[in-house]
Amino acid sequence: MVDRTLRGSRLGSVSYESVRNTEFVARQSREFCCVNGHRFAVPFAMDVEVPTTWDCKFDGVVARLVDGTELEQRKGKPPRTHWDMLLERRSIADLDELLDERLAVLRAKRGR
């Protein structure tokens, strides 16, 4: 049997481009700490805004930036539920009437 493998080449895993005359972007390393006490550093480019939270690489919980500013807690309206939107369109009396009508239809189908 003829050996037809490509010798000396691995697809997609090795770059043959040299790193000479290449300037890397300026970096900064910022430290994060999660509630479980894990501390880890994440490198960022100097010209980006560093986020105040990052997922912990050890256990996946939210980690906060060490020496970072606290996030502002926005006070807003609670989200409207389906029930709230329904009450905007119909009154309780209307809903009771609709319920009675639908129950009558179901009972008629069952033969009661």
CATH code, 47: 2.20.28.270
Helices (H) and strands (E) in the chain, counts: 2, 4
Residues 61 and 31 in one domain: yes
Q: What is the number of domains present in the chain?
A: 2
pLDDT tens for the chain, residues 1 to 112: 556 655 666 666 677 777 788 888 899 999 999 999 999 999 999 999 999 999 999 998 999 999 866 655 667 888 899 999 999 999 999 999 999 999 999 999 998 6
User: How would you list the strands of the sheet with 27-34, edge to edge?
Assistant: 39-45, 27-34, 62-65, 53-55
Residues 55 and 84 in one domain: no
Structural domain for 90, as ranges = 80-112
Q: Residue 39 falls within a domain, yes or no?
A: yes
pTM summary value: 0.47
* Upper half-sphere CA count for residue 40 (Cβ side, 13 Å): 16
Q: Residue 17 falls within a domain, yes or no?
A: no
Residues 33 and 58 in one domain: yes
Q: Residue 42 falls within a domain, yes or no?
A: yes
